[in-house]
Chain A
Amino acid sequence: MSFPESIRSIYQAQLADIQHAGIFKEERFIHSAQSADIEVEFPSGSELKKVINMCANNYLGLSSHPDVIKAAHEGLETRGYGMSSVRFICGTQDIHRELENRVTEFLGTEDTILFPSCMDANAGVFEAILTSEDVMISDRLVHASIIDGMRLCSAQHDTFKHSSMEHLEEKLLLHADKRLKLVITDGVFSMDGDTARLDRMVELCEKYGAMLLVDDSHATGFIGKTGRGTHEYCGVFGKIDIITTTFGKALGGASGGCVSGRREIVEMCRQKARPYLFSNTIAPVIVSGVLKVFDILSANTERRDKLEKNAAYWRKGLTEAGFVLREGNTPIVPVMLFNAKLSQDFSKDLYREGIYAIGFFFPVVPNGQARIRTQISAGHEIHHLDRALDAFIRVGKKYGILGLTKDQIIEKHGL
């Protein structure tokens, strides 16, 4: 027995603090497959409620696509359930390499290495390719997994103001003496739904001899004309040194991620990245499903085109209703409420109306920028969006925020 009351009470106090701060996270149990219409048990033990899902990363609506499920079944039958080994001992199947090649082709890079998740890809890549002689210069709003990965790396670290190319250039000049410079950004920023200025970043990196890493987890499969990602959207396809991305969002939504980029960098990850070396890779059943996803995406752009139309429809509806939105051109549409409590109350009322959308507030987003983040899917039909919009308008009226500016909402509800 090494867990006496004295230790237990320390954790109980910490958990009470989290609850007191209003940031205690609770899971909602979904009893159906992931899709636009789901059945949810919340709070735990309550009756199931049918709701429209407005907060999944299921951008292309492929999470429960019959062809993907069928391919996963076939993979399970032919390649088994698990590998019981890391990649470099006896944990690599032909389909792992096949998927790496498919990703390389899709993203327009030189090579790819799979990781158990994109979190793991980001945790492993920096330490594998940089040393204390080098510098990482990241956008201030990059994803938490990148921040964790950078913490594990001995290279110096600096940041530039969100999407400020002038500030990035200052930082590239400031660190001109470093052996290697790596500029780091998200392709699409998950909380705001805005897009990195990759065209300008490529120019700056070329000018100052820096490498560029883009986490395109919220873009791969649907951003750009053929869905290749933010680099396609910005006209710099084939010019990004390192792309990290996930299979846990648009690309079937199960799990897994990768580092894709320059051949030597991928090889360095294969030799040194710890999440690759010390963890099993993606299970065969998921690899088989993701391969089918790439078949679907290569056949036509129907799904990403529908997603684009849905997102434009949703954004237009909310704008006309008088909500304050974050500017953007992606399926991530944040409805700004500014006040943390309002974001939580709003989300609860939406749920009562049959709409599942989550309120985010500090520290997940900056102080005073609380919001409901909505995420649109190709799995949504217009009737889903119309129903969701009606609910948003009813709840918006209840709190008297329709047609108000940012300052007016803050004046009414406080910060």
Chain B
Amino acid sequence: MEEMNINEMKEMVLKYVIKEYIDDDDVTITYETPLISSGYVDSFSMVSLLVFLENKFKIKIPPSKATPEAFDSVNSIVALVNQYLEK
């Protein structure tokens, strides 16, 4: 895939999170919003986000790294993805 800067990655992940998980139009999600600890995303629903990231960025995230903590905000998700992109 084409080289993406960090903000483009965040924007892409944010768009996916809103489309996939947020039903309420009143809810505003930012890069910092806690997703799992605030109850917007339940830990069971993370699998589709994992599949999305792996397909989109052509990476493989080991299950041990796909933790609720690592997936708790767009910022932390993109940081995780970056670790595997760099390798």
Contact = CB atoms under 8 A, between A and B. Distances in A.
Interface of A: 138, 140, 147, 150, 156-159, 161-162, 171, 174, 362-363, 366-368
Interface string B43-72: 011011001000000000000000000000
B42 A140 contact: yes
Contacts of B23: 161-162
A138 B44 contact: yes
Contacts of B45: 140, 158-159
Given A161-B23, A162-B23, A174-B51, A363 B44 contact: no
B39 A171 contact: no
Contacts of A363: 39
Contacts of B48: 158-159, 171, 174
Contacts of A138: 44
B39 A159 contact: no
A30 to B, nearest CB: 32
Contact of B47 (A140, A147, A157, A367): A157
Nearest to A407: B26
* Chain B, interface residues (CB within 8 Å), range: 10 to 19
B39 A147 contact: no
6 contacts: A157-B44, A158-B47, A159-B48, A162-B23, A171-B48, A362-B39
Interface string B12-45: 0000000000011010000000000011001011
Contacts of B39: 362-363, 366-367
A196 B72 CA distance: 30
B44 to A, nearest CB: 5
Between A162, A171, A174, A363, the greatest number of chain B beta carbons within 10 A of the residue's beta carbon is seen for A174
Nearest to B26: A368
A211 B22 CA distance: 27
A176 to B, nearest CB: 12
A156 B42 contact: no
A368 B39 CA distance: 12
A150 B51 contact: no
B59 to A, nearest CB: 18
Contacts of B42: 140, 159
Contacts of A150: 44
Contacts of A367: 38-39
A205 B26 CA distance: 33
Nearest to B45: A159
